[in-house]
Structure 1
Amino acid sequence: MTKIYMNRWFSVAYHYINMIRNNPDGEKFEFFGTHPDINHMSLLASDHPGTEPALYGSEYAEYCADYCRTNGIDLFIPRLHMEEIARYAHLFDEIGTKVMVCRDTELLDSMVEKDKFYEAIAGKGLVDIPDYRVVHTAEQFKRACGELAEAGHRVCFKPTKSEGGMGFRIIDDGRDPLRELYGYVTLSTSFKQAYDTLSRAERFEPLMVMEYLGGVEYSIDCVASAEGELMTAIPRRKSTGRTYLLEAKPELLEIADRIAKSLKIPYAFNIQVRYSGDVPKLLEINPRMSGGLYITCLSGVNMPYLAVQALQGKPIEPPAPRFGIQAGYVEQPLIMKQPDLQIDFAAQKTR
């Protein structure tokens, strides 16, 4: 039986574990998982859940390698601190644990810091990138907003190093703060509010001030071999509410193919683009399974298992995904723990 370890993951790891476990080949897997919160939903599908310490750098990589050594782990699928784990990949090689991580640490570091990645791919003809500026001071922020607005762009900003939508804001000077107090939480902020807040610090962590892309957003979920040869790419379109469409858009499949051939990202990765008019522009690339991959798998392609097969070095036939699928998701209650049933048989006999 193959032992798989997943360190601190999103809650959707629950789905990925079950997809790998319920694979079409009947392959047997045993799952180990760690997270700082033992009640985290990502651990619910693990056979052996446990807590992990708050460590960084080489200490965290050494902790993971020691965990793999102690538990005889065959495959390690990391999410937290992927860059450090890649930097110390030799620790896992020494104990025979295969790690689902991009070993090109320069590329991996650039994908984590979005401005570095934009610089790295600029001019390569892989995908269009938004107009942007990197700022560290309030005055730089002010100047960047002015230049982008002058170029005809609606403006937004986000940290150069963040995950998902963390720190993302849209500049909107037509906001009504009083009305917003009675409404939903918004991602919008006025220029003055942002500028005043940033002015409180002489210098802050880098922000990307960029053109806001108002078109349709797509996530392109991909699986490649260990050498980076693309095996499948499935575009997933964000629609209304919690609805998604799986669409075979030629220009997006071409983007995935160009990126795979140029960057050679192994195993599972995700490309996020958003349209500006008719032009898809890059938001980011995540060198891991995406948070919405379980929806993409409704195409009939078990992508987590496919990535595991790639990590194992098994020969894989490129799958044939089904497109034109509309899908969504709803919450499902799951029992995490229940009290033992204690039956008082003596009391029953007296009734």
Structure 2
Amino acid sequence: MVVNGNADMNRILDSKADSCSYIREHELCPVPHMELITDAGDFERAYRIIKEQYGPSHHVCVKADRDEGGITYRRLYDEGAPKTFSGDIYFRSFAEDLKSREKFSPMVVMPYLDEPETSIDCMRTPGGLIAVPRRKIDTRITELRFDADLIETARKISEAVNIEYPYNIQLRPLDGRNVFMEINTRMAGGCYKAGLIGCNFPQLAVSYAFGDIIDTEKIISGFKNVMVGEVAAAVIV
């Protein structure tokens, strides 16, 4: 197994609030306003703050501060921003649910970002940073796009957090610019798509663990903007 050995940094990045504070304090990337809540009163105050900052029509979302795969994620609505999809939860109902609990794990309240996520698969090597930005166009099409601003953001974050082995940076557009969402200190599920342009992250992790020489320059020289499609087909078994 290959894992990052920087325990202190892992603890920071495991918390959405702490990781966003770290990114903001070190001026690595714009960060959306986020409120950490620990009781029902905090929630209603945080909800009002987000609405005031981003406008009454902007949706608000809530999720556990320490979460994996968005399991606890909920999008909220109120009378000023009515329900638009089945996963929405009425703000007042969510507040009443929190009041009914004796206690709950810390949560973050922040603006809902509805534009497509950019996920940057990264790995530091002795020869430099390998960074592959990808963005889902739809459920079956992903764009690998080596935008200079995305690569520079990945570089700045990589130098600051100093993670060993492959990891993943998540960004989303907000008000015309990409903002930081979180870092997964592991390979993302979609990193295999970089293999189509000569970057096999699982193999690179194994090579790094065994001390093999990684030709970073050669790998990066093969990078190009491409669209990756996934096709499902019936087979006889």
| TM-score normalised according to structure 1 size | 0.61
Equivalent residue for 2:83? 175
Paired with 1:148 and 1:130, the residues of 2 have a C-alpha distance of 10
Is structure 2 residue 117 aligned with structure 1 residue 217? Answer: yes
Equivalent residue for 1:65? none
What SS does the aligned partner of 2:183 have? Answer: strand
Give per-residue Cα distances to partners, 1:88-143, cap 9 Å, x unaligned. xxxxxxxxxxxx22211010111112112222332211111110101111111011
State the percentage of identical aligned residues. Answer: 30
Bigger relative contact order (CA 8 A; separation at least 6): 2
Say whether the 8 Å CA contact 2:38–2:104 is kept in structure 1.
Answer: yes
Equivalent residue for 1:322? 223
After TM superposition, list the pairs within 5 Å mapping 1:222-261 onto structure 2: 222-225=122-125, 230-261=128-159
Paired with 1:293 and 1:147, the residues of 2 have a C-alpha distance of 36
Q: Which amino acid aligns with 2:83?
A: R
Where in structure 1 are there 5+ consecutive unaligned residues?
A: 1-75, 77-99, 181-185, 339-351
Displacement after TM superposition at 1:255 (Å): 0.9
What SS does the aligned partner of 1:163 have? Answer: coil
The structure with more radius of gyration? 1
After TM superposition, list the pairs within 5 Å mapping 1:1-351 onto structure 2: 76=1, 100-153=2-55, 154=58, 155-173=60-78, 174-175=82-83, 186-225=86-125, 230-318=128-216, 319-320=219-220, 321-331=222-232
Paired with 1:123 and 1:332, the residues of 2 have a C-alpha distance of 48
Say whether the 8 Å CA contact 1:137–1:202 is kept in structure 2.
Answer: no
Equivalent residue for 1:67? none
Say whether the 8 Å CA contact 1:243–1:327 is kept in structure 2.
Answer: yes
Give per-residue Cα distances to partners, 1:27-59, cap 9 Å, x unaligned. xxxxxxxxxxxxxxxxxxxxxxxxxxxxxxxxx
Moved over 6 A (4+): 332-335
Identify if the C-alpha distance between structure 1 residues 331 and 198 changes in structure 2 by more than 3 Å, giving closer, same or farther.
farther
What SS does the aligned partner of 1:224 have? Answer: strand
Say whether the 8 Å CA contact 1:230–1:257 is kept in structure 2.
Answer: no
What SS does the aligned partner of 1:219 have? Answer: strand
Where in structure 2 are there 5+ consecutive unaligned residues?
A: none
Displacement after TM superposition at 1:291 (Å): 0.9
Paired with 1:332 and 1:109, the residues of 2 have a C-alpha distance of 42
Equivalent residue for 1:82? none
Identify if the C-alpha distance between structure 1 residues 194 and 280 changes in structure 2 by more than 3 Å, giving closer, same or farther.
same
Identify if the C-alpha distance between structure 1 residues 152 and 277 changes in structure 2 by more than 3 Å, giving closer, same or farther.
closer
Displacement after TM superposition at 1:285 (Å): 0.4
What SS does the aligned partner of 2:182 have? Answer: strand
Q: How many residues align?
A: 228
